[in-house]
Structure 1
Amino acid sequence: MDLSLLIIGEVIEVRGQKVRVKVYKEKNSSNLNYNGEVLKNVSVGGFIRIRKGFLDIVGKIEGEYIVENKNINTKYSEKKDNIERIVEISIVGSISNNGKFIRGLSELPLVFNYAYILTEEQVQKIFAFVDKEVPKIEVGNIIAYEKYKLELGIQNLFGSHIGIFGNTGSGKSNTLAKIYNELFNRYNNFHNFKKNSKFILIDFNGEYSKSITETNKKLYEISTRKEKDKYPLTKDHLTELEFWSIILEATEKTQQPFLKRAIELFKNIIEKNISEEIIAQTKNIINDIFNYRDKYNILRKYYKEIIFLGFCNCQNEVKGLFDILTLNTTNNSLYLDLNLPRNQKPYFDSEIKFHGECRVSNLLSNIKNCNCRFNSITNYWYLFGFICKIQYINELKKGYILEEHIAPLIKRLDTRIPEMEKVFDINEAIMEPLSVISLVDVNVYMRKIIPMIICKKEYDAHKEKKNQGVLHIIIDEAHNILSKESQRESSMWKDYRLEVFEEIIKEGRKFGVFLTISSQRPSDISDTIISQLHNYFLHRLVNNEDIKSIGRTVSFLDNASYEMIPILPQGACIFTGIASNFPVLVQVDRVEKSLCPESDTINLNELWTDN
């Protein structure tokens, strides 16, 4: 076998990892015929090997240019003969004596070493990122080497954090569906796969309801507008100060201490007979109205609310009492504002007279077990809201808190609890191996709350298992939840939200928790999160800030690949990370039609024509 046919030039300059090679004029064709094989010749993005003694050093061509050879007498030669072709190469590894490609810079070539194009066998070795016996998935065809598929090892890809970035329409949704369909197709029939793994897919746009093949898949179509599916939580979440502080945007100095005391009361009540505790708390408040009559005007509406919220069949008694029970602020006296002359209106000048009033006694008698709304099936969301208002009344009447400090929190409570009750269910439901949470019908505020709560819940639960199985959290359109520049939220909530996901990406690997994020705006996402990813699928990005963000945070990217990001065709991406030896340009295979994410651009001609 005549290897001299493969020589295409020689090294003329070595500067660290960067090498320049002069290409011989007779080797400037696009392809070379070698023993009946058509080999791809030197071109940007391709690979060559440089022979140094018994070692083959492999480099990737990052650029090329021409220079004029001034040593040739131009008087007796044509101008084209004076031009020399130079290619710039970045060393990516070497081929060892046993024929295996080794990634990394182990040795540099010398000036005048010969450069060769690669044989088919050598190309196979370079793109063999995993051994034959190692479990792997196929992603797509390697561009410029279309005969070869990009095969990635299961361990190196899915035992890592993954980032998929690209503008809308660039193919990132197909890439996300492709790699996870390949994974499920390979392991779906194994019992241990379903037993020891859990996948949570946060789907902001409702694209993945049918796109991943998994027989044990649960789709949660969550809505804040109407009753749909609810994601299961445990009662323990309702006893966490951090949980409620974020939902209610509680201030640190005044509202969080109040919430902490309300949570303690809530914990005490749910550990006992709930209905009996509710009855006792409510009766104490009604009995104390006279003793704290100076706060009656402030608390009147809350007296009504707790009885309406906690008891049924009491509406007439509530209206009959609180619609006419009035405070005379001049002498701090309670009286019934009946249609009588002022001097004949019944005043309560003692606690005995107040409790002896039939309207008060009738209300107290109707606050009983059979009328309690928390008697049999308890709605813990509304129970928590009820307890907060009990605590608010008790502390406000005693002067422990100021109305202007806590009243905004109570108003937010009235808004957030119905929303939380629509999307979360308090039960111990058994989760399927794959859960797809569709947030397409969720309002803007809850689109940030729901993923954060679900991801933190699953992460904390998995940490307690102590390395039993793996958890994969997959977030499509991740800029919706990982944005560092959001103006719709308080700085405290934004910091907490980012801290949750930064902890997952920094510490999750050691607990078997891996994060996959897909986004069209990497510049919106925290640099800490992007830089901690291990593998990247980079589709076309055209925004300068997005491209700069990738260049600033992705350490596995070379200059040639970086400059290609804005001009990648649809479906093509640059894959780089620990699962490959170097950045690879790949055309990702299209997922079969029945499993495609619902993200294709609408066909206007079909929409607008009768046919």
Structure 2
Amino acid sequence: MESPKKTLGVITSVEGDVSQVGMYSMSNDAEFIWYGEILTGPKIGAYLTINQNEIKIIATVSIEKVIDQQNSIKSSEFDNRYSKNSINRIISLKTKGVIEAGKFKVTSQYVPMIGNEVTLTTLDELKIIYGIENNEPTIKLGKSILENQPIQLSINKFFASHIGIFGNTGSGKSNTLHKLYLELFRSDFYEQIKQKSQFFVMDFNGEYSSTNSDDSTRKGIFGVEIENKEIYEINTRDSIRGRKLPVERKYIFDADILAILFDARPATQVPFLRSSIKEFNEKLLTAHFDFGAYTTGTLKKILTSGSSTNQDSFQDWVDTAKKYLRNKDLFSELDQIRQINGNYKIDTPEIWFNSGSNEGITPEKLGKSGISKISEELKKLFNSLRSTPIHQLQMFLEFQKVHRTAWGKVNREHLNPLFNRIISSLQSLEKVIEVKERAIEDYKMMNVISLVHSNQEITRLIPMLLSKMIYDEQKSLVSGKSVHQTKHLIIDEAHNILNSEYRNNGDDWQDYRLSVFEEIIKEGRKFGFYLTLSSQRPADISPTILSQTHNYLIHRLVNEQDLRMLENTMPTLDKSSYQMIPCLGQGEAIITGNAMSVPVFVKIDKEELLRPTSDDIKLTDLWRRP
């Protein structure tokens, strides 16, 4: 049997969605004990229930004041205002929605009317407001700030969506992100999660790469066993300490991605890269591809083209070959070569390479000049690099540069700056990437990619590369079918890679990267691909990406641009909740979005053992250490 309601007052005026309540008592108790339940009193932000027949209109307290009922004379001689018996308490309520047939919904069908009684909102009503149905699977994230009641999040409504976690440094957003997934893995669904879902964490600051574990369960920071978790320390400074990231060949040897990595200029360098990488991919698919014959073909053509080639092209070819073949004796004959009347000649033994076709270079000349041996050694070296195809690519591109510039089709001065960047970038890439034909099977259920020890170009590239690969894999897996597996991409400090400031300003990396992530957030949900973003600067994130996020956990933010961005992109965030954002304490957050009927203020529980390494440093403790 339902307990009687604790009545507080009656509606005395209604203006739009704001109502005034004349209180029956001046009591200002923060809490009431009512039939065994501790209920929140009528303080700012608290829920109250307006009773209208069988309908319960739910509202929050927005203003509280008193009025003098007896005296209004302002003369100090007669002024007896605010005496014990002369004042009455008035509160203003803002309507949020109604409870009808045991369910909460936002609607304008029912509005408060003068004379409706106002009562304390019961715990059962709070559960309905928070959208928790009795049989719905949930996780507990913390307790409501005002009512001190457990806040349960629907697993289905929350995790099958894109999630945004925002807050200033020190506000508790890292703890919230960690707690969200830790509680998911503590749920009754964990065994099936291991079989049907994968999680990828982009960790820019190394906060989630800790090896801390719960000795009693042998589970790591996210509550996942060691055998189901992998931490990839992407380290461009020390490749021995880092763990290489498996990436499929087609994503590494993609002209668009490499043009971005090499910062290639669109007009002069990108066309060279596109054609060269296309040829590289085609040649590697050719059975028994002979790299030595392919590259010495350029040399033979240079030797028989006479003065129609650039005068430095022969020496460019020899210098490139010497770079890779350390045996200088191989070049003893070619080092003597000189040009006489447009024809190349070797003095000892005497060999002439006359202008004309390659047919003029007989097998005997190729043998005596050392070209045959050089060709064989280049073939052996290239084949020996099959396990490190990034080295193969560098070697291929350098010989392509000689070939393309020998006859003036491409200006070598345009390519020289590009090759300085190519060598540097590929060296960094080789330290952190393992190229595979199929890579997705190498990843475990939980994968943390730590970028704290990587340089800027790799930090820019890896999140985009991995995100595109796993999204394409998921899209291919479920396209045209029902979703039977899911992938969850979690990006901490998301403003590092989702900043839209440079878009359309000639920054190809920015444009390509944003197009990748905008496609993911627009289309990913229907393919079972879900994105979680955490950032201290939501204003720096692309508005397209932010507006497509479904659920938000907002910690303290004070920057005006960040607050304005939230106001413009979150339709579920009401004005009163918005105004409270700068006042939130550490670990306090507003949860709003499709999964919540109304914004909820919650104090996030903090884990004592398993938690990210994001705690504030206590300088006095540090200085006490010997």
- Pairing 1:453–2:465 present: yes
CA distance in 2, matches of 1:434, 1:485: 32
Return the offset for 1:48: 0.6
**When the two structures are superposed, what TM-score results if normalisation uses the length of structure 1?**
0.88
Q: Quick one: which of 285, 303, 309 aligns to 1:271?
A: 285
Question: For 2:451, what is the secondary structure of its paired residue?
Answer: strand
The corresponding residue for 2:213 is none
Letter of the 2:298 partner, please give it.
I
In structure 1, the partner of 2:613 is 598
Deviation at 1:326, TM superposition (A): 5.5
Matched AA of 2:507: S
Q: CA deviation at 1:16?
A: 3.1
Conserved 8 A contact 1:265-1:387: no
Aligned equivalents of 2:472 and 2:623: distance in 1?
Answer: 50
Aligned to 2:555: 539
Contact in 1 for aligned 2:144/2:601 (Cα 8 Å): yes
Partner Cα separation in structure 2 for residue 321 and residue 18 of structure 1: 95
Matched, 1:213 2:215: no
For residues 408 and 18 of structure 1, do their structure 2 counterparts lie closer, same or farther at Cα, with a shift above 3 Å needed?
Answer: farther
Contact 1:11 1:114 in 2 (8 A): yes
Q: Shift of residue 22 of structure 1?
A: 3.2
Query: Do the aligned residues in 1 keep the contact of 2:41 with 2:120 (CA within 8 Å)?
Result: yes
Residue identity opposite 2:421 in structure 1: R
Measured after TM superposition, the shift of residue 485 of structure 1 is 2.3
- TM alignment of 1:72-471, pairs within 5 A: 78-80=81-83, 83-96=87-100, 98-127=101-130, 129-146=131-148, 148-186=149-187, 189-190=190-191, 192-210=192-210, 211-215=221-225, 216-227=228-239, 228-273=242-287, 276-292=289-305, 294=307, 295-299=309-313, 302-304=316-318, 306-308=320-322, 312=325, 314-318=327-331, 320=332, 325=337, 334=344, 350=354, 361-368=369-376, 372-378=380-386, 379-427=388-436, 428-429=438-439, 430=441, 431-466=443-478, 467-471=483-487
1:200-235 CA-partner distances (Å, limit 9, x unpaired): 110001111242121201111111112121111122
TM-score (normalizing by structure 2):
0.86
**1:486-507 deviations in Å (ceiling 9; x for gaps):** 5999522211111111111111
SS at match of 2:530: strand
Amino acid at match of 1:505: I
Structure 1: give runs of 5+ residues left out of the alignment.
Answer: 339-344
Q: Which moved more, 1:135-144 or 1:551-560?
A: 551-560
- Aligned alpha-carbon RMSD (Å): 3.2
State which drifts further: 421-430 or 484-493: 484-493
Residue 574 of structure 1 aligns to a residue whose secondary structure is strand
- Distance in 1 separating the partners of 2:109 and 2:338: 89
Aligned residues: 595
Q: Please identify, of 256-265 and 537-546, the stretch whose mean Cα deviation from structure 2 is larger.
A: 256-265
Aligned to 1:342: none
Distance 1:162 1:553 in 2: 13
**Alpha-carbon separation, structure 2, partners of 1:50 and 1:306:** 83
Partner residue, 2:10: 10
**Paired AA for residue 204 in structure 1:** F
Offset, 1:240: 2.8
Over the matched positions of the two proteins, sequence identity in percent amounts to 33
Look up the match of 1:341.
Answer: none
The farther-off stretch of 421-430 and 584-593 is 421-430
2:215 aligned partner: none
**Kept in 2: contact 1:312–1:372 (CA 8 A):** no
What 5-or-longer segments of structure 2 have no aligned partner? 211-220
On the 8 A contact 1:354/1:360 being kept in 2, the answer is no
Give the distance between the partners of 2:81 and 2:597, measured in 1 at CA.
43
1:507-546 correspondence runs (5 A): 507-546=523-562
2:488 equivalent to 1:479:
no
Instruction: Note the alpha carbon deviations across 1:250-297, whole angstroms, 9 max, x for none.
Output: 3444433322321231122111245x4201112212212323454454
The answer as to whether partners of 1:479 and 1:519 remain within 8 angstroms in 2 is: yes
CA gap of 1:71–1:157, structure 2 versus 1, over 3 A, is same
The structure-2 alpha-carbon separation of the partners of 1:554 and 1:577, relative to structure 1 and needing over 3 Å to count, comes to same
Paired residue for 2:512? Answer: 496
